[in-house]
Amino acid sequence: MKTIFLSITIASLISSCATCRIQKNLQDGELIGVIRLGNSECPVVISTKENGETKGYYPVNMDDSLKVDNVDGKKIIFTYAPSRAPQPAGCDVDMTITLLTTRWAK
């Protein structure tokens, strides 16, 4: 029982340290998000945690190389500008955005 608890504790510390390293390497205005593949109305959503609150963004200009099936759940670092494009009918997000820069989080 102690071994299982110790293993879980170590694993959670390692994963939280990885997030800390990513956050230290962020430039001004960059956010860390998780790509979520959705339905036909809302094919891609980027989820972020900002000030303890989860937010969802619908990127209108996301590059097709970032929309492939194996990216679901992967972390991305990005900057954005609000978009005036309408939010798709079946897309429940906080904001429609235009991506300015993107890179994979390591």
pLDDT of res. 32: 94
- The four Cα atoms 88, 92, 95, 97 give a dihedral, to 10 degrees, of -50
Contact 79, 31 (CB under 8 A): yes
Structural domains in the chain, CATH included, are: 28-104 (2.40.50.500)
Contact 77, 30 (CB under 8 A): yes
pLDDT of res. 24: 58
- d(C-alpha 60, C-alpha 96), whole Å: 7
For 23-65, the pLDDT digits (tens) are 556 877 899 999 988 777 888 899 999 888 999 999 998 887 7
pLDDT of res. 17: 46
Which tops the pLDDT comparison, 95 or 37? 95
User: DSSP of 27-87, one letter per residue?
Assistant: PTT-EEEEEEE--SSS-EEEEEEETTEEEEEEETT--GGGSSGGGTT-EEEEEEEE--SPP
- The confidence band for 6, taking pLDDT boundaries of 50, 70 and 90, is very low
Mean pLDDT value across the chain: 79
Percent of the chain with pLDDT over 90: 39
pLDDT of res. 94: 93
Which tops the pLDDT comparison, 1 or 26? 26
